[in-house]
Structure 1
Amino acid sequence: MTTDQPALPSPELGEIREIRESPSLVGSLVRGALTAKGRGGDLTTRRLLRRGVQVDRGHLADYQRLVGAPGGDVLPHAYPHLLGFPLAAKIMSDRDFPLPMPGLVHVENATTVHRTLTAGEDYDVTVWAEALRPHPKGRLVDLVTLLQVDGEAVWEETSTYLQRGRGDDGAPRGADAPGIPAGEPCARWRLADDLGRRYASVSGDVNPIHLHPLTARAMGFPRAIAHGMWTGARTLAALGPASTGPSRSHVWFRKPVLLPTTVDLVVDRSGDVQVAAMRSTKRPETVHLVATLEA
């Protein structure tokens, strides 16, 4: 069983540039910082492609342990994000990307799993940017990742980033998140102060805001913050095996998770679509994310 197939990239998106090796995430972060000034203009239509990407089973096991997913060859719902993120970071760090990479805020993530994915397959990974648009608090842009096997689309993701700044009060804010589930938490997690470093060692995302209080304070945060993709992956893994088969998720990132801390997971499973929220244990009114999962 598969979900409906997506609309594959159209020729209007422009040339495909094939990359043989995964770009360095550290290099992209440094290049993005050095070329931040003077950005502007329109989005490039270039797509980046890596063929035959394989999953390292040791790396997969480390990821599964860190996000609380079952072990084995089945890829967790959000794991393919790591296969495409080096390409996305390269696109955002290139000088012709119109928004400065430093300060971009990951605000939403929508994923479709078209069938169960396993570590034994070779994946063609394509990434491109689209839909640069105004927002009341600045500008939004989407980074789209598509995984294919033998020409079949098997997984896709749209990551939405916000550049804060002068916005347009009349611009749409994007898809509305559902209401926060009521009731007692179904899980409580103590998040250690080194969680950002541990996820960085698996994901390669070494943004300084995640690594240490000193580097986070230099970026305007009182303490290091957890990666949004860790909070999303941990939430989806807690919703059970439905997330690894054909499914759709949508995650809205609300308040950053300052480390160390304790968070609660609340879930509403009463309908066809599960709704979950991660909130502060000490201050339940502080909601870190809201997520939906439709199997």
Structure 2
Amino acid sequence: MAIHWQTLARNPDLPSAYLKAALNRKITGERLPELGLRCSLSADPRHLAAYRELCGFGEGGMLPATYPHVLAFALQMRLMTDKSFPFPLLGLVHLRNRIQVLRPLGGVAGVRVSVHTQNLQRHEKGVTFDLVTQVDDPLGSLWQEHSTFLCRHAKVEGLPESAPAPLPHPQQALVAVHRWYAAADTGRRYARVSGDYNPIHLSALSARLFGFPTAIAHGMWSLAQSVAALRERLPLSNYQLAVEFHKPVRLPSELILSATAAELGGQLALHGRDELLHMSGTWGPVVL
């Protein structure tokens, strides 16, 4: 599929995107848009500091590996609320995420961020697609992300069925490396930093409108907390981190991150109460 790129003069407005999302609650097509969006963006020091504090990264000279996702969030929202996008944004389920840190992430000023969709596939509960986000500087690609989403009840004939590769069996035992408590207001606090005000994360009352008994934590918050806890084990660049989201984290909740020993590659798992698995994943060198 050829991508028709549109370059925006500034970061899109989030309130208008949320208004469109609230008004568009129907499936309107069977094809992903050929539209791709680009915009020059920079990391704001105060916003970055707030993100670091909330997600447990502390101070440092390098950007957290998960921060470009937040930097690109308004652009992602603009694409997925465009009239050419066929699926309602509210109700999409984030199944998997793969981040590639291709070169060291410094201050990130004046980079070009681009987003597009691809890989529409059939799923037993609907269809899945990938939202691809890339960050480039004048020297080339710095960072890339593939976020896989499920749109329930969507039906598109003639598509291949999605079959994610199973996680490799760990060569070493996973041991607990970090434990933290996700308070009831975690979703609201992360929303203020990320811009992601999906109602399922904000309160028990708003979450019940979408079938959840309590508010649930953002998947990308859980991933960011895990990356922060593993940052001494991860290289500065040329690595990828792939995770699958399982059961949602109901707020409030205590979480335990387990991982294999620090090597070139490894595995991680995030559990909650009664050994409930919330997220699992791997990290290792980028495979081109």
Q: Fold match, TM over 0.5?
A: yes
Stretches of structure 2 that go unaligned for 5 or more consecutive residues are none
The worse-fitting range, judged by mean Cα deviation, of 33-42 and 203-212 is 33-42
Q: Distance in 2 between matches of 1:66 and 1:96?
A: 35
SS of 2:227's equivalent in the other structure is helix
Kindly tell me the number of residue pairs found equivalent between the two proteins: 281
- 62-71 or 191-200, larger mean C-alpha shift: 62-71
Q: Distance in 2 between matches of 1:267 and 1:244?
A: 18
Q: 1:233 aligns with which of 215, 224, 228?
A: 224
Q: Which residue of 1 aligns with 2:76?
A: 88
Q: Which residue of 2 aligns with 1:256?
A: 248
2:11 corresponds to: 22
Compute the displacement of 1:33 (Å).
2.6
- In the alignment, what sits opposite 1:46? 35
Give the whole-Å Cα distance in 2 for the aligned partners of 1:145 and 1:183: 30
Identity among equivalent positions (%) equals 36
RMSD of aligned alpha carbons: 2.1
1:177 equivalenced with 2:167 (yes/no): yes
Verify the 8 A CA contact 2:99 2:146 in the aligned structure 1.
yes
Q: Secondary structure at the match of 1:72?
A: coil
Gaps of 5+ in 1: 1-11
For the residue of structure 2 that corresponds to 1:89, the secondary structure is: helix
TM-score using structure 1 length: 0.88
Matched letter for residue 176 of structure 1: P
Q: Aligned partner of 2:165: which letter?
A: A
Describe the shift of the 1:244–1:210 C-alpha distance in structure 2 as closer, same or farther (beyond 3 A).
Answer: farther
Whichever residue aligns with residue 45 of structure 1, its letter is E
Q: Which residue of 2 aligns with 1:102?
A: 90
1:14 Cα shift?
A: 2.7
Spell out, residue by residue over 1:203-252, the C-alpha distance to the aligned partner (whole angstroms, 9 max, x if none): 00011111111111112111111000000111122112425433111011
**What's the CA shift for 1:151?**
4.9
Q: Which residue of 1 aligns with 2:60?
A: 72
CA distance in 2, matches of 1:120, 1:87: 17
TM-score (norm 2): 0.91
**d(CA) in 2 for partners of 1:288 and 1:217?**
20
CA distance in 1, matches of 2:282, 2:2: 29
Q: 1:57 and 2:48 equivalent?
A: no
Match of 1:31? 20
Q: SS at the partner of 1:134?
A: strand
Q: How does 1:213-228 map to 2 (within 5 A)?
A: 213-228=204-219
Q: CA deviation at 1:99?
A: 1.6
Q: Structure 2: how far apart are the matches of 1:120 and 1:186? A: 30
Match for 2:140 among 133, 140, 152? 152
